[in-house]
Structure formats: C-alpha cells, structure tokens
Copies of this chain bind each other. A is one copy, B any other.
C-alpha cells in the first residue's frame, strides 16, 4: 500500500518509488516489463532494467542492444508502455511513454556508456546478435575482459531508450477495496483523477 490518500501525495509516492528503484537492486520496480508494437502490429513485452528516472522532466530509461527486436519496434512505433509491479505492496504502476533512441555519437549515449561498468559493456560486444539461432546454449559468450577492442565494439551496439512519460496509471489492490488513479500530461499541464478499477 502506498501511504498517501490524495492524488498529489500519490503522485509524489510514485516518483519517489521509481527513483529509489534505480539505486536499490532489491526494489521490485527495478525490473519493469516494457511493451512495444512490432512493425507487423503485434504486441511484445520483456523485462528491462530501469537505469535512470528524472522525476522533474518525467523521464525514464533503459539500455538495450541496437540489434534487438525492440529497437526495430521502437523505430517503427515510438510508444512504449512500462509495467511495474510490487507484489508485497500489491501496487501496479503503468507509464505510457514517447520514446527517443540515443546511440553512438549522441551525447546522451556517450555519457551513459562512460558510466557503464566494464562487465555490462561486454554484453553489447557479443558477436552473435540477440535472438540469433544457435546450435547449443554455450555458443553465445561474452568477450573476455582482456579482449579490450570488445569494449569499443560494444559502444556501437549500445542504445539508450529514453521514455518521456505522458500518462501514469496507478492501481493498488487492498482486499476487495482497490484504488486506481490516472494522470495525463499535456502541454497544458498535469491532470490527475481517480478512476474505477
């Protein structure tokens, strides 16, 4: 259960929890499920790691490999729906976002890459692109830590997916009494309201 009983307080609770999840490896909001739409118009959803939250600018982001299907999806349809679920507090938060992709050469991508630990960088330097068929499960390996050029190769595949939040849906389950609220963000401002669950 989230502490606040009014919309303004809940809004603050939500951003506080999202921000905490970036640093706290045990926070359930650290691993949201992000849904995209394929160029064929089909839904797809997968776990990502929440990397940054900017509560004032209402931005959230994750990192991915440029060769992954989700990058193709977002190039085609730059909308992503983020799903956060806290099983102990029985709270679901959903963010609808407009997405921009930041890659090699881009200032944001460069800055994030520089703050990426070496072990994480190597995942982007794998020779086999994500989703490619393999003969057995051991064919796919991380480049060795000694394999320094691997690091640079990784940077080419490193993508920051930045979502600008334009809708928030909060849903809390409390026995048979639930609470649900929604906020919409437009140029005119932020509008929050209670809605039926």
Contact = CB atoms under 8 A, between A and B. Distances in A.
Query: Interface extent on A, as a size class?
Result: 35 or more
30 contacts: A28-B87, A31-B87, A33-B33, A33-B35, A33-B83, A37-B42, A41-B77, A42-B96, A43-B45, A43-B77, A43-B80, A43-B81, A44-B81, A45-B81, A45-B83, A46-B92, A46-B94, A47-B92, A126-B196, A129-B196, A131-B196, A133-B193, A134-B195, A134-B196, A136-B194, A139-B194, A140-B178, A140-B180, A140-B196, A140-B197
A70 B4 CA distance: 28
A75 B102 CA distance: 35
A5 B136 CA distance: 10
A160 B87 CA distance: 24
A128 interface: yes
A37 B81 CA distance: 10
Contacts of A94: 44-46
A114 B12 CA distance: 42
B196 A128 contact: yes
B42 A79 contact: yes
Interface string A1-40: 0000100000000000000000000001001011111000
Contacts of A178: 140
A82 to B, nearest CB: 8
A174 to B, nearest CB: 11
The 8 closest A-B pairs by CB, nearest first: A35-B35, A35-B45, A35-B43, A128-B196, A45-B83, A140-B196, A33-B33, A43-B81
Nearest to A132: B196
Contact of A47 (B5, B28, B83): B83
B181 A137 contact: yes
A176 interface: yes
